[in-house]
A and B are shown apart, each in its own frame.
Chain A
Amino acid sequence: MSAASPSATQAPRALRHRRSVRRLTTGQLDDLRRAIAAAQEISDDRGYQRWAGIHGLPLPISCTHHTELFLPWHRAYLYLFEKALQERVPGVTLPWWDWTSNHAEGVPAAYARRRDNGRKNPLFDSPIEPGGRENPRQARTVRSEGSPGALPSPTEVDAVLANPDFLTFQTQLESIHDGVHVWVGGTMESIATAAYDPIFWAHHCMIDRLWYLWQLRHPGAGVPARLLDRALAPFPLTVRQTIEIAGLGYDYAASTAAAEGPGHG
């Protein structure tokens, strides 16, 4: 067991489950909205603008695209952003957007409605600080969705998951990832601004989940050893620390249910 793995007694108590955005309960979706809204209200380095800005503008652009660190860097990014959200709403987790299903819906309803129950929906859009804009008029995020049929199909994703080699898998998954950025369009279409759109996090959660599914399918394969001790700047993590998601305290569950035990009394 690696140093990053939780012990057998810690894991069940500490793990949190990331869920499909389409399967969130009303309470889970409300928690997510409260967490994002709270982060958007903070103007210091705990706030939404700071986290979105790490990916793109303002300079430096820190994300890693088209490199061997694409998946590990974004896993670290999501992990730390989720930690920031959990400081606002304890227990909240990022959901994933499964863009291989429900194509007719397009962007999931949770993110597509400007208002929900009479209140502004913080998942619909976000402000962009002046330093994060590609042009001065770009004060809020926008989308320009493609046709629903153009989203990736399960067959395409299965073919990518079948790759036994990590680097080939990563390159092909990144191309699918790029295509979804293009499909959402608008703010999401540029590396410089994409992370300001709240749908960015659900999209990347899906990418991270697919890496996890690939890891389950190819237990003998993995990230090349020469990359394991590479730093994932600006984060205080190395590639090695991103390999096992249980060590980061989360899991991807198709469904979860729980019941209380008898206790120790």
Chain B
Amino acid sequence: MVEHFTSKPIELPPPDHPFARADLAFYGLDHSGASFEGQVFLDARGVGRDAGPDHRAYVGSFFIFGHGGCFGDVGHCDIPVERDPFDLRPPHQLEPAVRILTVTEPVKALLGRDVEAVKVTVTARTAGRTPANVLAFEKVRLMTYA
């Protein structure tokens, strides 16, 4: 878990691929701990964990309603590694979440500045707006739609 993360560069769509909408999808988000806001920045060179929505690179936030910790015995909140295809029970409560942030205009603005790739920065803030070590996800993907 971290409070602040910056990805490796993600390629923006080439100029000959016009789009009407651009989404940033965050896959594999952990929601086992405290609830938090994930503040997202694009192309935020040198942005620190104190930057907020007034920063020029801020493009929006996603939110996670967290479980607040484990209230069971040992193993209660362990997500099964493998799932039996004949298991009709609902999935484990802590199966990772997905969040999708629409960033159409910021991406178009970056393309207008001839930017070809961007890093995605996320700062997690819990109650009281303080950064907190609650951020964990597997992948962030930029998707565009004509």
Interface residues of A (CB under 8 A from B): 57, 59, 61, 64-67, 69, 134, 144, 159, 168, 171-172, 174-179, 181-182, 185, 189-194, 233
Tell me, yes or no, whether B61 is within 8 Å of chain A by CB: yes
- Which of B8-16, B64-72, B114-122 has 4 or more CB atoms under 8 Å from chain A? B64-72
Q: Which of B35, B90, B100 contacts A168, CB < 8 Å?
A: B100
Q: How far is the CB of B33 from chain A (nearest CB, A)?
A: 10
A66-B71 in contact (CB<8A): no
Q: Mark B37-78, 1 if CB is under 8 A from A, else 0.
A: 100000000000000000000000111111111011000100
Cα A178 to Cα B61 with chains together (Å): 11
Cα A134 to Cα B36 with chains together (Å): 18
Tell me, yes or no, whether B95 is within 8 Å of chain A by CB: yes
List residues of B (106-131) whose CB comes within 8 Å of A's CBs: 126-127
Q: Which of A67, A174, A233 contacts B95, CB < 8 Å?
A: A67
Q: How far is the CB of A199 from chain B (nearest CB, A)?
A: 14
B90-A64 in contact (CB<8A): yes
- CB-CB under 8 A from B63, the residues of chain A are 175-179, 181-182
A190-B35 in contact (CB<8A): yes
B102-A172 in contact (CB<8A): yes
**Closest chain A residue to B73 by CB distance?**
A59
B100-A182 in contact (CB<8A): no
Cα A175 to Cα B90 with chains together (Å): 22
B90-A233 in contact (CB<8A): yes
**Closest chain B residue to A168 by CB distance?**
B100
- CB-CB under 8 A from B102, the residues of chain A are 159, 172
Q: How far is the CB of B16 from chain A (nearest CB, A)?
A: 25
